[in-house]
Chain A
Amino acid sequence: MTVSDNRPKSLGHDEPKTFIISGNHAAAYAAKMARVEVVAAYPITPSTGCIEKVSDFVDGGTMGANYIKVESEHSAAAALIGASATGARTFSSTSAHGLLYMAELVWWAALARLPTVMSIVNRELAPAWSIWAQTQDSMGLRDSGCLQYYCKNNQEVYDSVIMAYKISEHEHVYMPSLVCQDAFILSHTNAPVDMPAQKDLDDFLPAYEPKHFKLDPKDPVTHSSLAYPEHYRQKRMNIMESTHRAKQIIKDVCADYKKRFGKFHGDLLETYGIDKKTKHIIISHSSIAEEIEVSVDMLKNKGYDVGLIRVRVLRPFPDEELRELCKNIETIHFIERAPSYGFKGIIAIDTMAALFEGDARPKAFHHIEGLSGMDVTAEYAADLIEKDLETLK
């Protein structure tokens, strides 16, 4: 018996296929094809579709994972922590209040160095009750150590979940990943998603074999018990080092994935319509950024020298990459879905901090748009940028 025979089964992917599916289902297919061993989840709109699909796969016998039914998101995350600590590849999906309810254990998974991967469907927080898109739920966890990916379309959701396992399980990383998509705009909208053959994916993503530690009755250890203050600095700086190193690992894994399967959505960030002379840069994220690609074309047709940077990975933050791209620009325009109350947009804060370590001091324009899933159309975004640029005249 070979090693792969011991892995949970994932049937029905002998050949590369294209499915027309929602973002939720894209994440579910990715979990199945990653040969996830343990799934624990509690349904919450709009992420329910993902775990419903996983549950379908497990019930139908095409996915060999253990599906643990739990009574809350808090328990779901706790189950993943336990399973991951024994060396199992784990998966869950949640949204908004579900993610906040498991927040304590998201931090635990990160600080315990457990490489679980979760599909997060970004949803506005209550009150008032809303089920539409906004990214504060996961961005509020940006200091936890979790690697965070913000996807622009369903294909990227699928590819990012697969790549997230490879990155999180790298022996220099061992941190959880949140693969985020916008509620409804991606989670409930069907679009084509290409999937490689299972055997090719297995070559890319082998079984998870933890090298840092594993709970094993044959070699008992107490994990994450009490410790004294003198131990913390070293351990926490070890997380700092791992998450910094993750930047290069993300670039390498994305390049490898592109070479094998022809899919690339940028690594830490993605650029659109940028060259060395670009004077005005728009910075955005998630599905809004894909819409703004059209705005960039519209503005270029009107003679404006604009380009777009989509921040794909919020943590680790692409600070050097942004400094390099923004070296010679005059203005920077943030269009983002997540405010940090009392200051500015979350990506704006991080970007300005990154630029401060360089020489560029572009004039910044801040736009918090698309709250609770409000459409940010290409025309609307182009209009915002045009008005910003008119103030310079």
Chain B
Amino acid sequence: MPDAKDDFKVETWNSKPAKGSAGKTGLWRTFRPVINHEKCTRCEICVLFCPEPCIELDQEDKSHKKGKIIIDYDYCKGCGICANECPQHCIDMIKETEFLKDEEKEDK
């Protein structure tokens, strides 16, 4: 049998869940979900339905007694499931190009 001191190890393709292991998937987005925080009741349905999952309730935020819903745009792919499920209809899907125009304006 091979030398017992030998440190050769068979390597396999195993991965454990980690944030962003596939890179910043937010770049794939065509539509950006934007929350109307005044209408939002913090029901967390969007948190539950987000398949990524990149929506969280930030309980530290003092703007509301329950906190504030935060979308991590680094990883949100813009699928729109949150907007579809929101009982208050307070998430709008806005074309990313709209934001580009804003950025261009700022550049000028």
Interface residues of A (CB under 8 A from B): 112-113, 171-174, 211-213, 220-227, 234-235, 238, 241-242, 245, 248-249, 252
- Find the A residue at minimum CB distance from B2: A172
In the complex, the answer to whether B10 meets A242 with C-beta atoms within 8 Å is yes
In the complex, the answer to whether B8 meets A234 with C-beta atoms within 8 Å is no
A interface footprint on B18-51 (CB within 8 Å = 1, 0 otherwise): 0000100000000000000000000000000000
Interface residues of B (CB under 8 A from A): 1-2, 6, 8-17, 22
In the complex, the answer to whether A224 meets B13 with C-beta atoms within 8 Å is yes
User: Nearest Cβ distance between residue A195 and chain B, in whole angstroms?
Assistant: 25
Q: Per a CB cutoff under 8 Å, which of B1, B2, B14, B17 touches A223? A: B14
In the complex, the answer to whether A213 meets B2 with C-beta atoms within 8 Å is no
Ranked nearest first, the 4 interchain pairs of A and B with the lowest CB-CB distance are A212-B10, A221-B14, A238-B11, A224-B13
Main secondary structure of the interface of A (DSSP, over half): loop
In the complex, the answer to whether A223 meets B12 with C-beta atoms within 8 Å is yes
User: Nearest Cβ distance between residue B105 and chain A, in whole angstroms?
Assistant: 37
A221 in contact with B15 given A226-B22, A248-B2 (CB within 8 Å): yes
Q: Per a CB cutoff under 8 Å, which of A172, A223, A227, A249 touches B10? A: A172
Question: In the complex, A222 Cα to B2 Cα: how many Å?
Answer: 30
Point out the residues of chain A lying under 8 angstroms from B22, CB to CB. Answer: 226
Point out the residues of chain B lying under 8 angstroms from A112, CB to CB. Answer: 12-13
In the complex, the answer to whether A227 meets B13 with C-beta atoms within 8 Å is yes
Q: Per a CB cutoff under 8 Å, which of B1, B6, B8 touches A252? A: B1
In the complex, the answer to whether A245 meets B13 with C-beta atoms within 8 Å is no
Point out the residues of chain A lying under 8 angstroms from B15, CB to CB. Answer: 221-222, 225
Point out the residues of chain B lying under 8 angstroms from A174, CB to CB. Answer: 10, 12
Q: Per a CB cutoff under 8 Å, which of A221, A235, A249 touches B11? A: A235
A234 in contact with B1 given A221-B16, A222-B16, A226-B22 (CB within 8 Å): no
A213 in contact with B12 given A226-B22, A249-B2 (CB within 8 Å): yes
In the complex, the answer to whether A245 meets B8 with C-beta atoms within 8 Å is yes
In the complex, the answer to whether B12 meets A241 with C-beta atoms within 8 Å is no
Question: In the complex, A227 Cα to B13 Cα: how many Å?
Answer: 8
